[in-house]
Chain A
Amino acid sequence: MRHLANAAALTAILALVLAQPGAAQPAAPDELRVCADPNNLPFSNSAKEGFEDKVADLLAQKLGKRLSYVWWAQRRGFVRHTLNAGQCELVMGVPVGYGHLETTVPYYRSTYVFVSRQARHLDLASIMDERLRTLTIGVHLIGDDGNNPPPAHALGARGIVDNVRGYPIYGDYREPNPPARLIEAVESGEIDVAAAWGPLGGYFAKNSKVPLTVTPIKDGDKFAPQVFKFDIAMGVRKGDDQLRDQLNALISQNHEEITTLLRAYGVPLVEIQHTAAGN
């Protein structure tokens, strides 16, 4: 027989490790359940410090519901194991048109950016910049052929290969916010420039000890069908039209407050780029 204390400890760990799809309960009427990554700032974390957590909080307040979380690393199978397994009703960030669920209207639009040390005065804005042939550039790696971020594709298409460094987006999950290693590599001088998704680059640059410059990549259109700007929406289960419609209304009613919140996290918003930088 297994020792009882042992069994209890095991059960506790298993509950953490192996949340079981299929064992899902329906949400209580006064509850808004969000599925989120517990370790991925600036989006979300288990201390609820991400901007997605703050937006979720705002929505729950407006809906008069109690906010609760199901934590799951946002990787392949995330939607399958969480939202579509009935563990929650809402995922706070997905690109518009994401096939596995139904998306709301977008609540922000951001862009891939270059992140470099301010002291370098690189002021990179173009993916066609000739300096990219010699600078050491960091990109995230996501998966096999074709499944990588747009700057990785574009640089490869330009024949810029040898000076590109890869940072697996998955990183080491025991460390905080694994995708942030790419921005830290700019801070430490390991690389000259990172080509990163805006919200991540913007937030970590803002909080960096070394002053960093964040500039939107302006001319990704040349590499269609790759795109460098994405509309980000919330996701609900297919057919959950009632919640989607409620969220759509809340997104438009609270647009200003949400935008202020995103700005506070350093999220590069595409509209801001157009007006402020005048590109």
Chain B
Amino acid sequence: MLVRAPQRLPFGIVLASFLAYLPLECLAQGSPNSADHSALADRMKDAAQWPMPARDYANTRYSDLDQINTTNASQLQLAWTFSVGVDRGQEAAPIIVDGTMYVVGPYAGPYPNRVFALDATTGELKWSYAPRPEPAAAGVACCDVVNRGLAFDNDKVFLNTLDNHTVAIDANTGKEVWHTKLGEINRGETITMAPVVAKGKVLVGNSGGEMGVRGWLTALDENTGAIVWRAYSTGPDKDVLIGDDFKPFYENLRGKDLGVKTWPADRWQVGGGTVWGWISYDPELNLLYYGTANPSPWNANQRSGDNLWSTTIFARDADTGRAKWAYQVNPHDLFDHDEINENVLVDLQVNGATRKVLIHPGRNGYMYVIDRTTGEVLSADAFDFINAYKGVDLKTGKIIPNDEMTPVLGKTIDNVCPSAPGAKDWQPTAWSPRTKLLYVPHQHLCMNFKASEVGYIAATPFVGADVDMYAGPGGYRGEFMAWDPVAKKKVWEIHEKFPVWTGTLVTAGDVAFYGTMDRLFKAVDAKTGNVLWQFRAGSGFIGQPVSYRGSDGQQYIAILSGVGGWPGVVANAEVDPRVRNSALGFTGATQDLPFYTAGGSELLVFKLPRANTAADHPSSGSNSQGNNNAAPR
């Protein structure tokens, strides 16, 4: 039995919160079960809050606050800081609900995946919660210790732990409400993604494809933790939750049990297709959208076929989990090009008509605009240099492989672009309804691919793929750019020395924020890309910036500093930087990172000086929800 104890519990807060807690709980149960009118959806309309890592169901990461703007952003200053205590990769987005910030640390140190509740204005610690890890053997989850953030709904904070537990924590007291074990770390399964709550369900997906894990997305009842449905990414239709109402746009995706038939023999049973990225939700269509990871752990020559439903974007009914449509981005993936990247839901003018679309910045380097009601690809244009593919056929929806770049046993293939992490990995984009631009942090890397590196796992020697990554054309390794999805082109771009591994944020003040691995947090003019301000932090950035309004009326910007993740492991985990292909090839691409940064664990919160904000009009956005757990201090 797991025991998870809050670390600190000031009595006053408990009492005040308890009193505020009861009526809301009753209210929530009595309210109609419509996402349009859910408390969480209302929070998304309230610019003071940032209630989920992607900010809203559409995954816009757009803040309606405009106190910080292009003329005053240069005066941003540190308001307060906080350490999450563990110097490993900090990928989590803080979330802000009713004046409280909730943040989670990586799965490392004495308190892995520890959760902190802070006063979002003053930084005062309200409580912390430390999950008790499973007594798994050391080393079974060797590589990825990041956590991408928490979720919130109805007075509960939801945490995914690396050892496969989803935990509901009382947002007011830090006490555990329930926890459910969803996977088995001893079989290589882990969870790193941020949960998303929609229609009273907590949505969670797994990681660990390389270890022989079969991918899934699971929905849990937010009140009890009971599993409502689970949709696998491979296997027979009944496991994938495909039925008669499944209407994929493209012919090749129609047919029975394609999750079995597009694999040799029983390969799908350990077929990968994990779900470790982002989930968006359209309340009107009642559809969830997410992408699945690459097929694994088989060699490409041992998994002939399209390997459905790996690297696939799914649209699913939020109540039942049943698939409505699907689109496979990279059939028979050869390059580890997961398509777990976010799907940003916007309405766009396409050929003179307004279309409900999702924008999917592909790991393969193409910016997909897909009709989110039908799954039709409306456009797919290269946003980075690509030679691994020759484009996307809009008639068939199929990507066109470049046969010259196909990895073959014993053949060395030079200069494949984009490299294994793709043109863009997990780091999420932001959409501004003001500029109608998508702000895209991404990497710019190519690779050489050959079989020659001696590997040794569980005392079994093998000759593995030697993937050596390096800067793409132009000599830079990362880029932050603005993309116009209607004109299908870049509007401006900023080149960075290292892969830009942070998420981004754009505001009604027309300011976009992102961080660099060489320790700079930057504010740029969303219209021009001019850098307005930058802050040199203690460690490199791979986190997600967020914005909210404090109880003092000021606009705040927050992000975690602390380099790590796939490209940053060289700087924080003592990989030998002289070996270009350790950490699955990324070390070569970031070999010089230790000259710029070491690990870190600092939450940084910025605001404008008081004098500067007094003259400004109050920011837009209102709290339509009212206080629920405010516990006035």
| Chain A residues packing against B (C-beta within 8 Å) | 2-3, 6, 10, 13-14, 16-22, 37-40, 43-44, 71-78, 80-81, 84-85, 93-100, 140-150, 152-153, 155-157, 161-166, 168-174, 178-179, 197, 199-200, 223-227, 230, 232, 238
Say whether B459 contacts A40, CB under 8 Å: yes
19 cross-chain CB contacts under 8 A: A6-B5, A13-B135, A19-B138, A20-B108, A43-B459, A93-B459, A95-B461, A100-B582, A143-B457, A146-B465, A148-B299, A148-B302, A153-B301, A157-B409, A164-B302, A165-B266, A168-B297, A172-B184, A226-B451
**Which residues 461-486 of B have a CB within 8 angstroms of A?**
461-465
Number of residues from B at the complex interface, CB < 8 A? 72
The 5 closest A-B pairs by CB, nearest first: A146-B465, A168-B212, A156-B301, A73-B139, A77-B142
Whether A145 contacts B407 in the complex (CB less than 8 A), given A18-B110, A173-B187, comes out as yes
Whether A145 contacts B409 in the complex (CB less than 8 A), given A99-B579, A164-B265, comes out as no
Say whether A148 contacts B298, CB under 8 Å: yes
B592 in the interface (beta carbon within 8 A): no
**Contact with B464, one of A143, A171, A224 (Cβ below 8 angstroms):** A143
B211 in the interface (beta carbon within 8 A): yes
B140 in the interface (beta carbon within 8 A): yes
Say whether A152 contacts B299, CB under 8 Å: yes
Measured between alpha carbons, how far is A172 from B3 in the docked complex, in Å? 25
B11 in the interface (beta carbon within 8 A): no
Measured between alpha carbons, how far is A178 from B302 in the docked complex, in Å? 22
User: Which residues on B sit within 8 Å (CB–CB) of A232?
Assistant: 461
Measured between alpha carbons, how far is A169 from B459 in the docked complex, in Å? 10
User: Which residues on A sit within 8 Å (CB–CB) of B452?
Assistant: 225
Say whether A148 contacts B142, CB under 8 Å: no
Say whether B5 contacts A174, CB under 8 Å: no
| Chain B residues packing against A (C-beta within 8 Å) | 3, 5, 7, 108-110, 112, 132-140, 142-143, 184, 186-188, 209-212, 264-267, 270, 294, 296-304, 334-336, 407, 409-410, 449-465, 573-576, 579, 581-582, 584
Measured between alpha carbons, how far is A85 from B455 in the docked complex, in Å? 19
- Closest CB in chain A relative to B49 CB, distance in Å: 31
Measured between alpha carbons, how far is A74 from B142 in the docked complex, in Å? 9
User: Which residues on A sit within 8 Å (CB–CB) of B296?
Assistant: 143-145
User: Which residues on B sit within 8 Å (CB–CB) of A20?
Assistant: 108-109
Measured between alpha carbons, how far is A170 from B185 in the docked complex, in Å? 11
User: Which residues on A sit within 8 Å (CB–CB) of B138?
Assistant: 16-19, 71-73, 81
User: Which residues on B sit within 8 Å (CB–CB) of A238?
Assistant: 576
User: Which residues on A sit within 8 Å (CB–CB) of B574?
Assistant: 21-22, 80, 84-85
Say whether B456 contacts A170, CB under 8 Å: no
Known pairs A22-B574, A38-B137; list 18 more (Cβ under 8 Å). A17-B136, A72-B138, A73-B142, A77-B143, A81-B142, A95-B456, A100-B576, A142-B455, A145-B296, A148-B298, A150-B462, A153-B409, A156-B301, A166-B267, A168-B270, A168-B297, A178-B458, A200-B460
Say whether B212 contacts A170, CB under 8 Å: yes
**Contact with B140, one of A75, A98, A149, A162 (Cβ below 8 angstroms):** A75
**Contact with A73, one of B137, B187, B575 (Cβ below 8 angstroms):** B137
User: Which residues on B sit within 8 Å (CB–CB) of A143?
Assistant: 210, 296-297, 455, 457, 464
